Amino acid sequence: MALVYCGACSHAPGITARAERADTQTRQALETALHRMGDDIRATRPDALVVVAAEHFANFFMNNMPAFAIGMADDYEGPIEDEGFLRIARRRIPGDKALSRRLIEGVMQTVDVAYAEEWKFDHGISVPLHFLTPGYDLPIVPANINCQGPPLAPLSRAWAFGEALRAAADAVPERIALVATGGISHWPATPDSGKINEAWDREFLRRWAANDRAALLSYSDAEIYRDAGQGGFEIRTFIAAAAAARGGKGTIDFCEPIPIFAVSCTTARLEIAA
Amino acid sequence: MSLYQVQKLIWQLNRDPRTRERWGRERDALLAEYEVSDEERRALVEPDIGLLYVLGVNGQLLMHFAALHKIEWNAYLEAMRQGLRTHGPVREGVYAATGYEGVEAHDARLKRQWEAR
């Protein structure tokens, strides 16, 4: 059928783990924006949701690290984190192995993606799903870009991965929604947790909303590390979504820095160009 | 220096209930399966979150290792700061401290900005 929804949102664990420590009004506005995003996804009547995330050693480690991976199972489990820490109950989440396989075969035409028949979701997927699909009734196809353990795939390959996901989604009969999750600038899990380069975030999102491929791919990892922290490497997921939209412009629905959540919390959607 | 081995053990502890069970019941035998230095072993067993941070353990692994030991968020952040004071800068990896005003001061600054909008 086609890609029917393409968007991006934050996945910071603090959004649930430290919810009460944020300014109440700002937190409620973020949660409303995430729920609104879920409504928008459902309004496109998707058969499955591809979540392009940047996981944090839940499944992949430096012993065997894929640059790109896609899950291929009929169900998954998450969150892997301590339930008391993340404040999200562990559960089984539906997948669709046959659909995953067809999407993977499509992606493989241009990107050498790894596949995984088991996958434990961490906060990178579980926090978004907690708000976007709280009924856990939409089959999920998890996808991952290594943004944690350098060497990392170049931004141009994240773009290629997004293009490959788009081509694969357009080639299956199902209606596919895609959400990229990640932080923009952030220094998570360090003594600097909470530091946010808001100006850098706004400029990145300006380029993203314009779907300006050249500008999005112009950052070097050294520049990202300097200006946006090691967490900034996760812009790869946003870049993949921009590529999947094939030039479609974006709208930033919500973007506010929330230090206790460690990022500029964001929800955004891209138009899907033909 | 065997940061990879330290991180591998922490990764297994974070994701595998049986490894966690062995960590409680037969820690020495478990540790013997990983090639870690005396300093790394000491940091793991104590646990010395600050030293593990300085050794270069990725924060996405370390924060869950801290949670496993019931070290709450602020105490985790403070342990890393204490590690920097005691042991000096982060020796390896990409999780170095770069300087930050702190969440409370940052929140106050943002609040002033919002009020001025």
Beta bridge partners of A268: A8, A252
Are B4 and A62 in contact (CB < 8 Å)?
yes
The number of residues in chain A equals 274
pLDDT score at A1:
66
3-class DSSP state of A261: helix
User: Closest approach of chain A CAs to the CA of B38, in angstroms?
Assistant: 23
* CB A185, CB A10: distance < 8 Å: no
**Residue A69, C-beta contacts closer than 8 angstroms, at least 6 positions apart:** A59, A60, A113, A114, A115, A116, A143, A144
Query: Which string of DSSP letters, residue by residue, matches A125-166?
Result: HHHHHHHH-TT--S-EEEEEE--SSSS---HHHHHHHHHHHH
Into how many domains does chain A fold? 1
Domain range enclosing A6: 2-178+201-219+227-266
pLDDT score at B108:
94
Domain range enclosing B72: 3-116
Task: Give the phi and the psi of residue A52 in degrees, each rounded to 5.
Answer: -90, 105
Please indicate, yes or no, if residue A183 is contained in any of the structural domains: no
- Token pair of A177 as six digits: 């929604």
Residue A207 CA to residue A251 CA, distance in Å, equals: 11
For residue A80, the 8-state DSSP code is -
Q: How many CB atoms lie within 10 A of CB A72?
A: 22
> Which residue in B3, B55, B65, B73 has the most chain A C-beta atoms within 10 A of its own C-beta, making it the best mutation to test that interface?
B73
> Which residue in A192, A221, A234, A256 has the most chain B C-beta atoms within 10 A of its own C-beta, making it the best mutation to test that interface?
A192
Are B64 and A85 in contact (CB < 8 Å)?
yes
**Chain B contact present for A80, CB below 8 A:** yes
- pLDDT single digits (tens) A20-79: 999 999 999 999 999 999 999 999 999 999 999 999 999 999 999 999 999 999 999 999
3-class DSSP state of A241: helix
Task: Give the phi and the psi of residue A39 in degrees, each rounded to 5.
Answer: -60, -40
**Residue A84, C-beta contacts closer than 8 angstroms, at least 6 positions apart:** none
From the list A256, A212, A239, A271, the residue with the least C-alpha distance to A22 is: A256
Beta-strand relationship, A48-53 and A140-145: parallel
> From the list B4, B53, B95, which residue is nearest A230 (CB)?
B95
Query: Closest residue of A to B90, CA-based?
Result: A190
Tell which A residues from 4 to 33 touch B, by Cβ distance under 8 Å. 17-18, 23
**Chain B contact present for A97, CB below 8 A:** no
Q: What's the farthest any 2 CA atoms get from each other in chain B?
A: 60
**Chain B contact present for A118, CB below 8 A:** no
Please indicate, yes or no, if residue A171 is contained in any of the structural domains: yes
Query: Which string of DSSP letters, residue by residue, matches A62-75?
Result: TTS--SEEEE--SE
Residue A225 CA to residue A185 CA, distance in Å, equals: 9
Burial bucket for residue B37 (CB in 10 Å: 0-12, 13-18, 19+)? middle
- Token pair of A199 as six digits: 């100006």
Residue B107 CA to residue A82 CA, distance in Å, equals: 27
Please indicate, yes or no, if residue A64 is contained in any of the structural domains: yes
- pLDDT single digits (tens) B36-94: 999 999 999 999 999 999 999 999 999 999 999 999 999 999 999 999 999 999 999 99
Give me the CATH number covering residue A18: 3.40.830.10
Predicted-complex ipTM score: 0.92
> Which residue in B64, B70, B84 has the most chain A C-beta atoms within 10 A of its own C-beta, making it the best mutation to test that interface?
B64
**Chain B contact present for A151, CB below 8 A:** no
Please indicate, yes or no, if residue A257 is contained in any of the structural domains: yes
pTM here?
0.96
Please indicate, yes or no, if residue A141 is contained in any of the structural domains: yes
Residue A151: asked if its preceding bond is cis (omega within 30°), the reply is yes
Please indicate, yes or no, if residue A66 is contained in any of the structural domains: yes
Residue B16 has pLDDT above 60, yes or no: yes
Give the CA dihedral A168, A169, A171, A172, nearest 10 degrees: 120
> From the list A61, A149, A190, which residue is nearest B97 (CB)?
A190
Into how many domains does chain B fold? 1
User: Closest approach of chain A CAs to the CA of B78, in angstroms?
Assistant: 7
Tens of pLDDT along chain A (274 residues) come to 699 999 999 999 999 999 999 999 999 999 999 999 999 999 999 999 999 999 999 999 999 999 999 999 999 999 999 898 899 999 999 999 999 999 999 999 999 999 999 999 999 999 999 999 999 999 999 999 999 999 999 999 999 999 999 999 999 999 999 999 999 999 999 999 999 999 999 999 999 999 999 999 999 999 999 999 999 999 999 999 999 999 999 999 999 999 999 999 999 999 999 9
For residue A57, the 8-state DSSP code is S
> From the list B73, B98, B102, which residue is nearest A187 (CB)?
B98
Residue numbers in A near B67 (CB within 8 A)? 81-82, 85
**Chain B contact present for A185, CB below 8 A:** no
* CB A237, CB A8: distance < 8 Å: yes
User: Closest approach of chain A CAs to the CA of B28, in angstroms?
Assistant: 23
Give me the CATH number covering residue B79: 1.10.700.10
- Token pair of B41 as six digits: 């072993």
Residue numbers in B near A190 (CB within 8 A)? 53, 59, 80, 95-98
Please indicate, yes or no, if residue A211 is contained in any of the structural domains: yes
From the list B60, B103, B56, B55, the residue with the least C-alpha distance to B78 is: B103
- Token pair of A256 as six digits: 């506010």
